[in-house]
């Protein structure tokens, strides 16, 4: 795909959604981190339902440790893999308290040392809260990147590197949201809505 076409894709996505916002509910870096950990293999809607009741009870590392593993499991039991996620969250809170003064790190190296935090989760936190030009490639972004031809790759890391390489600087901060939302609502895994797609005439349609 020509770079001119890639730019046009971003220009159209920006025009349709000039100020894209994450769909996870949060009010701090810590709440965002917890929400993203919970969102693995779960929908943002299901996570928001859980955190709506969870965060008023506990929204700091200390409060989560006070809540304890068993009560945390009860709070998040409607989320898939809730037991392992609860254990990871408790361990992560312990590290945040002992090593980071209860603050969420603003760099990938320290974030990826936390339990339940991989490259994708770290990228989400860095991009959304710390406003760093990262792109967290999930299944939606991976699909859109390969289908449209904007940044094809064999795996998520390859797509991430390609997107960071070809995305003009002015679009980098919001590229993650635009591509994710496009994949979530238009370029869906099954029955993509090509007739409604604003990229239909410039998409390479590798379906």
Residues forming the active site: 120, 138
Report the alpha-carbon distance of residue 193 to residue 3 in Å, rounded. Answer: 24
Please measure the distance between the N-terminal and C-terminal CA atoms of the chain and give it in whole angstroms.
Answer: 16
Q: How is residue 65 written in tokens?
A: 């440790």
Question: The tokens 């390609």 sit on which residue?
Answer: 162
Torsion sign across C-alpha atoms 106, 124, 65, 49: positive
Report the alpha-carbon distance of residue 24 to residue 42 in Å, rounded. Answer: 11
Burial class (CB in 10 A: 0-12, 13-18, 19+), 104: buried
Contact 79, 64 (CB under 8 A): no
Report the alpha-carbon distance of residue 141 to residue 133 in Å, rounded. Answer: 15
Report CA-CA distances (Å) from 131 to 90, 126, 174, 207: 26, 6, 9, 32
Cα torsion 42, 98, 67, 108 to 10°: value is -10
């Amino acid at each position: 795909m020509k770079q001119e076409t890639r730019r046009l894709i971003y220009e159209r996505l920006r025009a349709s959604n000039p100020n894209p916002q994450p769909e996870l509910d949060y009010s701090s870096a810590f709440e965002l981190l917890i929400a993203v950990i919970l969102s693995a293999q779960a929908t943002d809607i299901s996570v928001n339902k859980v955190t709506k009741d969870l965060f008023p009870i506990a929204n700091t590392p200390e409060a989560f440790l006070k809540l304890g593993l068993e009560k945390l499991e009860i709070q998040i039991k409607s989320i898939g893999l809730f037991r392992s996620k609860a254990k990871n969250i408790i361990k992560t809170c312990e590290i945040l308290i002992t090593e980071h003064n209860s603050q969420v790190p603003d760099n990938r190296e320290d974030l990826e040392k936390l339990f339940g935090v991989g490259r994708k989760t770290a990228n989400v936190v860095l991009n959304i809260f710390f406003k760093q030009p990262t792109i967290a490639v999930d299944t939606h972004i991976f699909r859109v990147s390969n289908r449209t031809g904007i940044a094809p790759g064999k795996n998520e890391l390859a797509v991430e590197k390609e997107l960071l390489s070809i995305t003009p600087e002015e679009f980098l901060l919001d590229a993650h949201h635009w591509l994710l939302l496009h994949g979530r609502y238009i370029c869906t895994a099954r029955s993509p809505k090509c007739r409604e797609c604003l990229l239909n005439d410039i998409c390479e349609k590798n379906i």
